[in-house]
Structure 1
Amino acid sequence: MKNFSGQSVLTTSSLWTSTPRICAGVSPWSLITLLPCLLGACSVINLEDHRDTNTQKVQQAVNQVRADLEASLQHQVPSLNVLIQTPTEKIFASSVPPGNAPVTETTYFRFASNTKNFTSTAILNMYEDDWLDFRAPITGLIPGTTVPYVPDTPNWNFPYKNSITIEQLLQHSAGVFDVDNDPVPGFGGLSFTESTQTADPTHQFSTDEMVDQLIRHNLSYFAPGTGYHYSNTGYSILAKIIERVYSVKSGSTKTYGDYLKDYVIGSTAPVPVTIHFPVRADDTVLPSPHMAGLVLSPGSARQYGDYNMSAQVGEGNGYGTMAALNTYIRSLMKGQNVLKPETVQIMQTDVSSANPTYALGTTFTKNVGYGHNGARIGNLALIAYDPLTDVSVVVYLPLWDLTQGDTSFLKCFTALYDAAYAARTTLGYPGRP
């Protein structure tokens, strides 16, 4: 197919400040007499031109990454979008093919497993408030109560339950089998959630029924603390813990979404952002404007917009805007949000021995920073903050290409990082190592 070089839409908002000063020891008369010499010897720096040039450079860099991806996939890429903030400016670039509507930094989309960083933030905020101990076993008691973190009932006696800690769930080192990603016996080679949702798109999922699959088939990857395996189900259990702790501490029935709204993202949070975490099967509609994810498979193309996310609570159910995600990850990782700086350091550095790049709901990538990435129903997204350069970046690609199987999907996923590196390099910061 023909490759498309693309059209582009861009905006920029600057954080430059300028404060006029008169230097100590220099009289106004001296400045007046020196002024002609200064004007003749120096060129005037136009900061607005500088910002415009940087915006154009970032746009061109994102255009090139999208063009390269199109050439590799041999078809159009609906859009590739980058929001980058440095100590001095914030630049947004949306690269789209001719005739496609651009994405904006306030366009809503599903950001998938970036949700895990919010879950970790919630757990660590509860830790700061002495509502839980993240290093405690999940069978331990919520501080000041006789209520355990997870139900003490037979229908929650899944493999290794008594040996798992909250910390291990956060690190993906608990060995909890992932019934959302991996095939489960009895479901025709599909995961439990995919098979169930295909049969009934309106099904209201619960963590209890996911845990039931672990028990029913005696599913686990390894003994806790002996390995690393990414597990959405492990984060579903963390969401259950957040729900139970908040319900006990508030004295009323609460959900995972309630806690995030009240403490992390809502109007009463330190840094409110336009982000939502649906927990109900009927909470499917994204606000306008929004983007649907596109999934290309051999012989088919399907868009996912309104969608039941109740199977992904705590691990991938979030949606929001690039502007909101940038505000969140930048302020959080700088220690200027809901968590104290010392707790942020724990989030960044408390890793399992099996995977030194995945800490507590946080990944680390050199020259990109601390954050997370996500992939769900045609959406790919990356959020990160680099403390070495004070640069944050959010990247969004509304495409899963499965026409070449894992090979084409990996090309899309890699494009997230290609775009992040390209934007950073263009502005003079270190790029791909």
Structure 2
Amino acid sequence: MRRKGIAVLATAVAAMSVAATISPAVASSSSPARSAAVVAERVPPNAEAMRRAIAGLPSADATAAQVRLGGKDGRWLGTSGEADIRTHRAPKGDERFRAGSITKTFTAAVVLQLVHEGKVRLDGTVQHYLPGLLPAGYPEIRVSQLLNYTSGLPSADFPADFDWQYAHRFTSWDHKELVSRAVGRPMEFAPGTKQHYSNIGYNVLGLIVEKVTGRSYEREVRDRVIVPAGLKDTYSAANDPRIQGRHTRGYQAVKAEDGTSRLVDVTEWNQSITWASGDLVTTTADLERFSSALFQGRVVPKPELKLMFTVPDVLAYNPSGDPAKDRKATYTSGLTRVEVGKTVVYGKTGGRYGYLNGFGATLDRSRTLVYSVNSTDAKGETPPIVGQIIEAGFGK
């Protein structure tokens, strides 16, 4: 249930993508598992900065990285590190990984398609679509507010510490339970008045999708987004703790009482605890295809697509009450707007234990980026390599 998306975006900031297929020409050093392998056709000018950004893996912060650059200046694929630290297998750049909260963009796309078809109304309420789901004392909450994180719903009450999460890594969670564990508490704020990034709203959206279509959320994502966008290696994990096909393995650094750390393999993990907010498995190539199709209006019809590039005019939720900590909202309906230097980028980050990822692009798609980093502390502080990747992709 990671809120790291906003932390990743706020650090140096923004996770991103778009592009197409990348063709031959591989250059690598004598130790390919530990330095960047590169594939390119017409090489963009920021490729060398990106190569330096991802070199030197595995390190204490990350075991592997896969990056794709795209846009008007060319395309480039770089990899570094070890996809599996036991075998020292180097990543090729087409390995699957856990997408985390990037799943929310897919969920938003499905909902906005249903809005376009008249099956869901943006001003329709949770109480209308899912009567009895929320406590009677809650105010009416609109679909639009779920989409842009302004619903005011409290987050699900799950312990955040790694030991508890790891002990429950094979638990299959009921989708309604994800909501019921949250709504026993008071609303955080009046709907529409603040923005608070969390998973709860998107899991409610998953339930609405199932209610209005009469089909599973997973099937709707597959038939409405994954198949039409030509995504070959993306799927909803559901209750399967494994990652199907070739993939990078994820690791979490765990400290012992004596201060030393060991890496725990966290690849096998039931993602039902995130469901419609974070259970997808994908590849960097598929995220390029998806974001390219999305930005061009081939996933969400253009009238509704505007919402994915519109940030609500509210402040971010500030539970401290200190006005000095007030910040403007940055999330749209399914994406995030971020300024990297003077460059405005729209994209989405996501992470699960062992995996930190992002995709995004400028509105004209002149610069695009997709990355997946196998962070050894994906729920902690964002590792420097992520900021370096973002800076190389969208900096000067």
Q: Please classify the TM superposition score into its range, dividing by the shorter chain length.
A: 0.7 to 0.9
1:276 aligns with 2:235: yes
Alignment-derived partner of residue 30 in structure 1: none
Alignment-derived partner of residue 319 in structure 1: 281
Number of residue pairs matched by the alignment: 342
In structure 2, C-alpha distance between the alignment counterparts of 1:288 and 1:256, rounded to whole Å: 22
In structure 1, C-alpha distance between the alignment counterparts of 2:312 and 2:114, rounded to whole Å: 19
Specify the SS of the correspondent of 1:65. Answer: helix
1:208 aligns with 2:181: no
User: C-alpha deviations, 1:110-154, integer Å up to 9, x for none?
Assistant: 0100111111101101111111112322223xxxxxxxx21x23x
C-alpha change, 1:401 and 1:133, in structure 2 (3 Å) is same
C-alpha change, 1:5 and 1:207, in structure 2 (3 Å) is closer
C-alpha change, 1:319 and 1:194, in structure 2 (3 Å) is farther
Report the CA distance between 1:397 and its aligned residue.
0.5
C-alpha change, 1:240 and 1:161, in structure 2 (3 Å) is farther
Report the CA distance between 1:87 and its aligned residue.
2.7
TM-score (norm 1): 0.71
1:300 aligns with 2:262: yes
- Aligned alpha-carbon RMSD (Å): 3.0
Report the CA distance between 1:264 and its aligned residue.
0.9
The letter for the 2-side match of 1:362 is L
Matched ranges for 1:155-304 at <5 A: 156-158=133-135, 161-179=138-156, 184=157, 190-191=159-160, 195=164, 198-216=166-184, 218-247=185-214, 254-266=215-227, 269-279=228-238, 281=239, 283-298=240-255, 299-304=261-266
Alignment-derived partner of residue 113 in structure 2: 125
Specify the SS of the correspondent of 1:89. Answer: coil
Alignment-derived partner of residue 416 in structure 1: 386
Specify the SS of the correspondent of 1:291. Answer: coil
C-alpha change, 1:63 and 1:391, in structure 2 (3 Å) is closer
Alignment-derived partner of residue 362 in structure 1: 335
User: C-alpha deviations, 1:353-380, integer Å up to 9, x for none?
Assistant: 1243211011012236212001211110
Matched ranges for 1:57-206 at <5 A: 58=47, 60-66=48-54, 75=60, 77-87=62-72, 89-96=74-81, 100-140=88-128, 149-150=129-130, 152-153=131-132, 156-158=133-135, 161-179=138-156, 184=157, 190-191=159-160, 195=164, 198-206=166-174
Higher helix share: 1
C-alpha change, 1:55 and 1:11, in structure 2 (3 Å) is farther
Q: Which moved more, 1:116-125 or 1:199-208?
A: 199-208
In structure 2, C-alpha distance between the alignment counterparts of 1:169 and 1:194, rounded to whole Å: 30
Alignment-derived partner of residue 342 in structure 1: 303
Maintained 8 Å contact 2:331/2:337: yes
Specify the SS of the correspondent of 2:63. Answer: coil
In structure 2, C-alpha distance between the alignment counterparts of 1:221 and 1:330, rounded to whole Å: 36
Alignment-derived partner of residue 401 in structure 1: 377
Maintained 8 Å contact 2:45/2:73: no
The letter for the 2-side match of 1:109 is F
The letter for the 2-side match of 1:385 is A
Specify the SS of the correspondent of 2:369. Answer: strand
The letter for the 2-side match of 1:139 is Q
The letter for the 2-side match of 1:398 is N
Gaps of 5+ in 2: 1-31, 256-260, 316-327
Alignment-derived partner of residue 331 in structure 1: 293
1:8 aligns with 2:44: no
In structure 1, C-alpha distance between the alignment counterparts of 2:387 and 2:218, rounded to whole Å: 29
In structure 2, C-alpha distance between the alignment counterparts of 1:10 and 1:198, rounded to whole Å: 35
Maintained 8 Å contact 1:138/1:164: yes
The letter for the 2-side match of 1:372 is K
In structure 2, C-alpha distance between the alignment counterparts of 1:160 and 1:192, rounded to whole Å: 31
Report the CA distance between 1:10 and its aligned residue.
1.5
The letter for the 2-side match of 1:353 is V
Considering only CA atoms, is the larger Rg found in Structure 1 or Structure 2?
1
TM-score (norm 2): 0.77
